[in-house]
Amino acid sequence: MRILSGIQPSGTLHLGNYFGAIQQHIELQAEAGGRDRAFYFIANLHTLTSLRDADKLRALTRDVALDYLALGLEPERATFFRQSDVPEVTELAWYLSCVTGKGLLERAVSYKDKIAKGLEPTMGLFNYPVLMAADILIYRSTMVPVGKDQQQHVEMAQDMATHFNVAFGKEVLTRPDWRFSKAPIVPGLDGAKMSKSYGNTIPIFLPEGMTEKQAWKTYFASIVTDSKGVDDPKDPNDTLMLLYRLLDPSGAAELEPAYVKGGIGYGDVKKRIHAAYSAKFAQFRDKRAALAKDDAYVEGVLEEGGKRARAVAHELMREVRETVGIAAGAWAR
Ligand code: ADP
Ligand code: TRP
């Protein structure tokens, strides 16, 4: 078994990322049973499809590393690395693209969404799922924990593995399975899916210098609700309750009967959500601040992870090159 997942450093990580992906990644470290079986990486090559600012990419990559390490990723229990530290993924992506029909990529929902949102339709964006398939297949990953929006991409990786194996008549690549977290779609401040690109996020860590009071105004007080009054019966699955349940399941279960019956106002629940958020994430803030002062440690973790991941990739790439008929020179050893 190998668990693998990637996260793009394309913006500040938010509660959607946490409950949809990160929390599960951290929990799975234990289930995986060793750092050779849990691989997590920062997908900085993918972020080039949406970001053209070298300093910003470097800063966001560091932020993701700090966030993961502060939230509980343990380098002794998981291999943590930068996607770009295993450059062979781009080579495998080429081999995969040569057995993948254009029609498969044209069906990608995420590509269409991103174009609709105004991203430039570059070849990088179009080929995004091919690079993601290479990320998965190069480590013979068997399980890919992701949020619902990534399901289609993992299914494409399954298809590409099969296409490759059929095209070359050999079982070289392993078909991966996807796995959802308990919260495949976390709602944002406006009730739509929480996403960096919708500007409706609550960050896991407050921006530097932001006070709790400012956080209340910026995030929690601005969660959109309808106009029901305190005494009106309310929907136990509205945005407020969905967020509250994620942050404090027992508090939400206790509140639910009264919420449904009437007598609890939206403002009250927003305050509870804010309190639950602070209780849950404040504990990680100090660790993050300490890590932020120790760049050498963080860089060391990523470099060591990159070496380990690359060694695994090398094995598969030897077999892949042999299978397609590409002679590898000394550079491949
Ligand atoms: P964003 O939509 O903010 O750009 P990404 O696409 O970078 O987020 O997602 C990183 C990971 O977090 C993926 O596994 C994705 O499925 C998960 N994720 C992101 N937003 C949500 C959400 N609102 N609910 C559940 N999972 C999410
Ligand atoms: N596309 C994923 C996202 O935006 C990130 C990613 C890149 C990934 N490669 C991956 C996730 C491989 C899982 C496996 O969230």
pLDDT tens digits, 114-155: 999 899 999 999 999 999 999 999 999 999 999 888 999 999
Give residues with Cβ within 8 angstroms of 27, minimum separation 6: none
The DSSP output letter for 266 is: H
For a ligand 2 pocket test, name from 92, 135, 175 the mutation site with the most ligand atoms within 8 angstroms of its C-beta: 135
Q: Is the pLDDT of residue 13 over 80?
A: yes
The alpha-helical segments, DSSP class H, found in 83-140 are 88-97, 102-106, 109-116, 123-137
* Residue having the nearest C-alpha atom to atom 10 of ligand 2: 6
pLDDT of the residue at 26: 96
Ligand nearest to the backbone CA of 15 = 1
Which strands, in side-by-side order, build the sheet including 143-146? 79-82, 38-42, 3-7, 143-146, 177-180
Domain-wise residue ranges, the chain: 3-186+294-332, 196-290
> In this predicted model, what pLDDT tens digit does every residue of 63-99 receive, in sequence order?
999 999 999 999 999 999 999 999 999 999 999 999 9
pTM, whole model, 2 decimals? 0.94
State how far the Cα of 5 lies from the Cα of 180, in Å rounded to an integer. Answer: 12
Report the residue count for the chain.
Answer: 333
Q: Is the pLDDT of residue 333 over 70?
A: no
Q: Quote the tokens at residue 235.
A: 């929907």
Q: Is the pLDDT of residue 321 over 90?
A: yes
Ligand 1 site residues, Cβ closer than 6 angstroms: 7-8, 10, 16-17, 20-21, 146-147, 149-150, 183-186, 193-197
CATH class for the region spanning 3-186+294-332: alpha beta
Ramachandran region, residue 209 (left: φ > 0; alpha: ψ -120 to 50; beta: rest): left
Q: How confident is the model at residue 11 (pLDDT cuts 50, 70, 90)?
A: very high
pLDDT of the residue at 182: 81
The alpha-helical segments, DSSP class H, found in 40-122 are 44-47, 54-71, 88-97, 102-106, 109-116
> In this predicted model, what pLDDT tens digit does every residue of 200-255 receive, in sequence order?
999 999 998 999 999 999 999 999 999 999 999 999 999 999 999 999 999 999 99
Beta strands 79-82 and 38-42, pairing class: parallel
For a ligand 1 pocket test, name from 149, 155, 179, 242 the mutation site with the most ligand atoms within 8 angstroms of its C-beta: 149
**Which residue reads 């892949």 in tokens?**
320
**Which residue reads 């939400």 in tokens?**
252
For a ligand 2 pocket test, name from 2, 3, 4, 7 the mutation site with the most ligand atoms within 8 angstroms of its C-beta: 7
**What is the residue-wise DSSP string for 125-192?**
HHHHHHHHHHHHHTTT--EEEE-GGGHHHHHHHHHHHHHHHHHHTS--SPPPEEEE-S-SS-B-TTSS
CB of 5 closer than 6 angstroms to any ligand 2 atom:
yes
Superfamily of domain 196-290: Tyrosyl-Transfer RNA Synthetase (1.10.240.10)
Q: Is the pLDDT of residue 315 over 80?
A: yes
